[in-house]
Amino acid sequence: MSKLNPRQREAVDYISGPLLVLAGAGSGKTSVITRKIAYLVNKCGIEARYIAAVTFTNKASREMKERVTQLLPGKTKGLTVSTFHNLGMNIIRREHKKLGLKPGFSIFDDQDTKALIRDLLMHHDEDAEQVDMIRTMISNWKNEMVTPAKAESFAKTPEEVLAARAYDAYMTHLQAYNAVDFDDLIWTPVRLFEEHPDVLERWQQRIRYLLVDEYQDTNLSQYKLVRQLVGHRGALTVVGDDDQSIYAWRGARPENLAQLQVDFPSLKVVKLEQNYRSTSRILKAANTLIANNPHAFEKTLWSDMGFGDPLRVVHTRNEDAECERIATEILDLHLRNHIPFNDFAILYRGNFQSRLLEVKLQAFQVPYKLSGGTSFFARAEIKDLMSYLKVLVNRDDDNAFLRIINLPRREIGPSTLQKLGEYATERRVSLFDACSEIGLEQRLPAAAVEKLRRFTHWLHEKYRLCYEGDPIQAIKELIQDIDYEGWIYQNSSSDAMGEKRMQNVWFLVDSLRNTLERLQEDDPDAGVEEAIARLILIDMLDRQEEEDDSNRVQLMTLHASKGLEFPHVYLMGMEEELLPHRNSIENGDIEEERRLAYVGITRAKKTLTMTLARQRKQFGELIDCTPSRFLDELPQEDLEIEGNGEKNPELNKARGRATLNSLRNMFDDL
Ligand code: ATP
Ligand code: MG
């Protein structure tokens, strides 16, 4: 275990008031949180169940939990280490009655949310752009805690008026579906605490010390939640770095850092200056780059991890060559220098950049793990099964009901569903409940009613099995009853594809079992509905399967790399319009892009390689690329530039062939 430096020690030991640790990348902010949890338990006698630590991603919270468990073997029972959204969900789950929600409420993901907005706008000709715009506006309002009524009174442009109206209807429908969306997970607890001081007091008793990582990226509602939970006690430690604020587009407010001083006049500020992650050269590059941004807080950062290698800037002919170069270089270093694959990370600005990279890595048989990209839960088979599970635990979720009613075919036609919908709206009940109402018999032919009821009775029976017996067994039976396997094979382009999709289904069932077991370790009363909600949440937050990432190259966006570190980092696409992103150039928002580049550079411990292409295909056309302005802002004396000015493509080709041949020889030797 590393020894804390005096400043870190000071931050860990200080418990007599609110504390802010403000420091640059790699200075041990996250380590301070981990060590402070151990200190609170071991030295201050606060039981772990009274402590909550909030992280930014599920991955970060998993890692933190692991580290705390090592520091506090056997003493972490009941400790909360979670994301803001998970914490919010736990609060809603425990207080659902006060919020007018029934147990098993659904959490709407991005797709559900968009589907609902599309329905509300009542045009089925997909106007995806408009739906996206309204979705973003609603989300921003929620993060800023603006009610539909307020939104309507502020709305000026026709778009705003439309969105504000949709917002109102959207909220009513969510309530009717017994559902909350992602943003509600924070805002709903905040409102609850405002309206019920007694409930807030209970939670303040439960969370007696709160720690928050990556504080610069909290939005208004998250900040409000922190303030409520902390109350007057000031039992709070937050750590952050204003230079790493990269979520302004999602409502993050780096000014929350300065706001702390206003809200907590007794705030103590500790600054850390030693970086334990990167070589001096990498750190110097990062410091030089970020010095181009204006600074509200003075910070210095130094490292004694050695001077290190120069930073490499590799120019390539086009995107194909760029990806191939990265893949072959990593393979070469792995084979020649025995560097394990998981010591490498490849970072990029946009998810689309990973596609070609994946192709190249596969071609050279370099194992990799992609964080992000197409969500596991966005796959059709997973959506299907999740919809079954959602209706199983929340029969008010009409969205999910409509997805599964004819899956597989039950021959319930659109006109039956339309009449059912009308009847349900009149009676103000869910589609599921409408099926068993006697009045329905006057509206629909007996055969149609019979089909609907057969479905709901069957599902009800599964529900009973779920709660009286083994839920996982009940879910497996459900999958067999509907012969989902047969359906999948029928609807897949090949048997191999069908098999893969069925594997996804079983992966989901397994994940559900694991999640349920883990939840029950802390809370024996936790049921299958909580496990389902947790799974949805994990996916929505960082969209990664909890698969093993040992010995694989890590691929992720710069945004997703926050807080992580890797010995060798490749930063792709160092070009104008990519990094900085075109939209940010147009909006004049270069500072946030510079912070993103700062985050990327400071992930590297030993080596950093930045790559760029001279030409890139865009909308089928070949365009010339300009090197990123951020390259000019780096200390030129520390850069080693390769491939620039080589106008002779033949030379490059020959070189590529040589690398390939040497690699092939190595494979043959193995
Ligand atoms: P970021 O801003 O990127 O989130 P951070 O400030 O949270 O970084 P950490 O991730 O906590 O920094 O620490 C960076 C690295 O330095 C980790 O590998 C950590 O183990 C190591 N480290 C932190 N403090 C010390 C110390 N006192 N001695 C040795 N190593 C340390
Ligand atoms: Mg950190």
For 196-244, write each residue's pLDDT tens digit.
999 999 999 999 999 999 999 999 999 999 999 999 888 999 999 999 9
> Which ligand 1 atom sits closest to the C-alpha of 244?
2
Q: Which of 463, 493, 497 shows the shortest CA–CA distance to 478?
A: 463
> Which ligand 1 atom sits closest to the C-alpha of 25?
2
Q: Give the closest ligand to the alpha carbon of residue 564.
A: 1
> Averaged over 129-157, what is the pLDDT?
90
**Which residues sit in the known binding site for ATP?**
23-30, 277
> Is the per-residue pLDDT at 320 higher than 60?
yes
Dihedral pair phi/psi, residue 139, rounded to 5°? -60, -45
> Averaged over 648-655, what is the pLDDT?
48
What pLDDT shows up at residue 545? Answer: 46
Sign of the Cα pseudo-torsion (183, 187, 192, 193, in order): positive
> Which ligand 1 atom sits closest to the C-alpha of 599?
3
> Is the per-residue pLDDT at 34 higher than 90?
yes
What pLDDT shows up at residue 192? Answer: 96
* Residue whose CA lies nearest to ligand 1 atom number 18: 277
Q: Give the closest ligand to the alpha carbon of residue 33.
A: 1
What pLDDT shows up at residue 547? Answer: 53
Specify the residue for token string 């030295």: 43
Q: How confident is the model at residue 591 (pLDDT cuts 50, 70, 90)?
A: very high
**Which residues sit in the known binding site?**
23-30, 277
Residue 521 host element (H or E): helix 495-522
Please write the tens of the pLDDT for every residue from 82-98. 999 999 999 998 998 89
Q: Give the closest ligand to the alpha carbon of residue 35.
A: 1
Q: Give the closest ligand to the alpha carbon of residue 276.
A: 1
Please write the tens of the pLDDT for every residue from 408-424. 888 888 788 888 988 98
Q: Confirm if 334 and 665 have CB atoms less than 8 A apart.
A: no
Kindly give the distance from the C-alpha atom of residue 199 to the centroid of ligand 2, in angstroms, as a whole number: 32
**5 CB within 6 A, ligand 1:** yes
* Total residue count of the chain as it appears in this document: 670
CA distance 93 to 84: 14
To the nearest 10 degrees (0 to 180), the angle between helices 184-195 and 197-206 is 110
Residue among 54, 276, 347 whose CB has most ligand 1 atoms within 8 A, to mutate: 276
Residue 670 host element (H or E): none
Q: Which of 185, 338, 253 shows the shortest CA–CA distance to 670?
A: 338
**2 CB within 6 A, ligand 1:** yes
Please write the tens of the pLDDT for every residue from 48-85. 999 999 998 888 888 899 999 999 999 999 999 999 99
DSSP single-letter state for residue 580: T
> Is the per-residue pLDDT at 308 higher than 90?
yes
**27 CB within 6 A, ligand 1:** yes
Please write the tens of the pLDDT for every residue from 471-488. 899 999 999 999 999 988
In whole angstroms, how large is the CA radius of gyration of the chain?
27
Kindly give the distance from the C-alpha atom of residue 70 to the centroid of ligand 1, in angstroms, as a whole number: 16
> Which ligand 1 atom sits closest to the C-alpha of 564?
3
**35 CB within 6 A, ligand 1:** no
What pLDDT shows up at residue 213? Answer: 97
What pLDDT shows up at residue 539? Answer: 61
**169 CB within 6 A, ligand 1:** no
Q: Which of 633, 59, 28 shows the shortest CA–CA distance to 277?
A: 28
> Averaged over 18-42, what is the pLDDT?
96
To the nearest 10 degrees (0 to 180), the angle between helices 158-176 and 110-121 is 110
Q: Concatenated DSSP letters for 293-361?
A: S--SS----EE-S---PPEEEEEEEEHHHHHHHHHHHHHHHHHHH---GGGEEEEESSGGGHHHHHHHH
**271 CB within 6 A, ligand 1:** no
Q: Confirm if 475 and 496 have CB atoms less than 8 A apart.
A: no
Q: What is the mean pLDDT of the chain?
A: 88
Active site residue ranges = 29-30, 213-214, 244, 603
> Is the per-residue pLDDT at 655 higher than 80?
no
Kindly give the distance from the C-alpha atom of residue 658 to the centroid of ligand 2, in angstroms, as a whole number: 41
Q: Confirm if 89 and 107 have CB atoms less than 8 A apart.
A: yes
> Is the per-residue pLDDT at 20 higher than 80?
yes
Higher pLDDT, 664 or 266: 266
CA distance 136 to 559: 19
Kindly give the distance from the C-alpha atom of residue 401 to the centroid of ligand 1, in angstroms, as a whole number: 48
Amino acid at 632: D
C-alpha distances (whole Å) from 212 to each of 82, 205, 227, 260, 466 are 10, 18, 12, 13, 37
* Residue whose CA lies nearest to ligand 1 atom number 9: 28
Q: Confirm if 393 and 107 have CB atoms less than 8 A apart.
A: no
* Residue whose CA lies nearest to ligand 1 atom number 16: 276
Q: Concatenated DSSP letters for 360-409?
A: HHHHTT--EEE-SSS-GGGSHHHHHHHHHHHHHH-TT-HHHHHHHTTSS-
Q: Concatenated DSSP letters for 227-257?
A: HHHHTTT--EEEEE-GGG---GGGTB-TTHH
**96 CB within 6 A, ligand 1:** no
CA distance 174 to 399: 10
Kindly give the distance from the C-alpha atom of residue 247 to the centroid of ligand 2, in angstroms, as a whole number: 15
* Residue whose CA lies nearest to ligand 1 atom number 31: 276
**8 CB within 6 A, ligand 1:** yes
* Residue whose CA lies nearest to ligand 1 atom number 24: 28
Dihedral pair phi/psi, residue 487, rounded to 5°? -60, -45
Dihedral pair phi/psi, residue 17, rounded to 5°? -175, 180
What pLDDT shows up at residue 242? Answer: 92
Specify the residue for token string 């009610």: 147
What pLDDT shows up at residue 374? Answer: 56
> Is the per-residue pLDDT at 383 higher than 90?
no
> Averaged over 439-444, what is the pLDDT?
91
> Averaged over 154-162, what is the pLDDT?
89
**554 CB within 6 A, ligand 1:** no
Kindly give the distance from the C-alpha atom of residue 596 to the centroid of ligand 1, in angstroms, as a whole number: 19
- H-assigned helices in 155-230: 158-176, 184-195, 197-206, 220-230
Q: Residues 6 or more apart from 188 whose CB is under 8 A from it?
A: 88, 92, 99, 180
DSSP single-letter state for residue 559: G
Kindly give the distance from the C-alpha atom of residue 172 to the centroid of ligand 1, in angstroms, as a whole number: 46
* Residue whose CA lies nearest to ligand 1 atom number 28: 2
Kindly give the distance from the C-alpha atom of residue 85 to the centroid of ligand 2, in angstroms, as a whole number: 19
* Residue whose CA lies nearest to ligand 1 atom number 29: 2
Q: Give the closest ligand to the alpha carbon of residue 599.
A: 1
Half-sphere exposure in the Cβ direction for 508 (13 Å, CA): 28
Q: How much of the chain, in percent, has pLDDT values that exceed 90?
A: 56
Kindly give the distance from the C-alpha atom of residue 425 to the centroid of ligand 2, in angstroms, as a whole number: 49
Residue among 246, 257, 277, 603 whose CB has most ligand 1 atoms within 8 A, to mutate: 277
**240 CB within 6 A, ligand 1:** no
* Residue whose CA lies nearest to ligand 1 atom number 4: 563
Sign of the Cα pseudo-torsion (99, 101, 102, 103, in order): negative
> Averaged over 330-354, what is the pLDDT?
94
Residue among 10, 22, 30, 257 whose CB has most ligand 1 atoms within 8 A, to mutate: 30
